[in-house]
Amino acid sequence: MIQSLADGILVGAILSLGAIGLTMVMHILRFANFSHAELLSIGAYSALVFDALFSGILPILANKVGPFSMTWALILSMLCAMGVTGLSAMLIDRFVFKRIREKGDELSMVFASFGVAMIIRNVLGLIFGLKSQLYSNDIVFAVMVSSEPMLLIKPDQVFVLLAALLIMLMLHFVLSRTTFGYALRAVAENPSLAEVSGIRLSRVIALVWIIGGGLAAAAGVFYGLNNHINPVIGRDLVLPIFAATIVGGIGSVYGAVLGGFIVGIAASMALLVLPSGYSPAVPFMIILVLLLVRPHGLFGEPQT
């Protein structure tokens, strides 16, 4: 059981990073972006490309970092992937969602997001092939933390959890201590008032995409450290990320963090009582239960 809990926490950290960007976009732009999880794929593949590039140019970067399977090149690659994915998210908004936003309604944007998701998935498949890939082919053994109860943890998992928590802490600092963070929260709460308060909406929206994309990229790389990378990462993660967002309450960054951990832990613990084939249904069940009990989520505000 404690093993499932530990695994769930790790998955939860990855889902949280994905859900933060999604909840910000959903709240500010008022639409459910079903292509958000594809940003994880863009991030994971970008890091793969940068990793090969950096390792090729500077072989010293191909050395492993301490007990982890990742290399210095991969760490640098993750940072680059965050930038590339953030920029991609901003460009997707500029060339697709912004145009629809100006002409259509939220529903059109939801349908467009399905289209964008399909395009990203297929383009990644065309470029990188459908075969799964790994950041490292080296086998990293899990460390036995406890024998009774049995708890095995890979060093990479510790890194992922700590890095994810650090990123969340940095985001918390930005949101709660800087005027830029206040501006983000102001736009999320009342865009028209934010605008007359001197905030340029288009700039904040672009930054929200960049931040959301960057966090998704980090989530994608963290996911790839413990799983195979393939073009359907987004398809596999879209539902858990949506569940985390809805559980936390749309618009609440802290809710998204908590929602990610709840969904991750619940899906992992469900394996104790359900056959593994039913595991993907757990996020669905969580969404259904929460919508019945608390429709605005744990930290969200009721619609007035």
183/221 with CB nearer another protein = 183
When asked if residue 196 is in the footprint of another protein (CB under 8 A), the reply is: yes
Check if the beta carbon of residue 227 is closer than 8 Å to that of residue 17.
no
131/203 with CB nearer another protein = 203
Quote the radius of gyration of the chain (alpha carbons, Å): 19
Check if the beta carbon of residue 146 is closer than 8 Å to that of residue 131.
no
CA distance 258 to 245: 9
Q: Token match 């760490």: residue?
A: 75
26/84 with CB nearer another protein = 26
Under DSSP, is residue 18 helix (H, G, I), strand (E, B) or coil?
A: helix
When asked if residue 185 is in the footprint of another protein (CB under 8 A), the reply is: yes
Q: Token match 């953030």: residue?
A: 86
Q: Which residue in 190, 272, 274, 289 binds another protein (CB under 8 A)?
A: 190
Q: Which residue in 133, 153, 155, 195 binds another protein (CB under 8 A)?
A: 195
180/284 with CB nearer another protein = 180
When asked if residue 102 is in the footprint of another protein (CB under 8 A), the reply is: no
**Residue 64, strand partner residues:** 71
- H-assigned helices in 129-200: 155-177, 179-189, 191-196
When asked if residue 198 is in the footprint of another protein (CB under 8 A), the reply is: yes
When asked if residue 147 is in the footprint of another protein (CB under 8 A), the reply is: no
201/274 with CB nearer another protein = 201
When asked if residue 186 is in the footprint of another protein (CB under 8 A), the reply is: yes
When asked if residue 192 is in the footprint of another protein (CB under 8 A), the reply is: yes
Q: Which residue in 197, 278, 291, 294 binds another protein (CB under 8 A)?
A: 197
Pairing state between β 143-147 and 150-153 = antiparallel
Cβ within 8 Å of residue 218, ≥6 positions away = 17, 43, 78, 82, 163, 164, 167
Q: Which residue in 105, 142, 165, 189 binds another protein (CB under 8 A)?
A: 189
When asked if residue 206 is in the footprint of another protein (CB under 8 A), the reply is: no
Q: Which residues bind another protein (CB under 8 A)?
A: 179-180, 182-183, 185-186, 189-190, 192-201
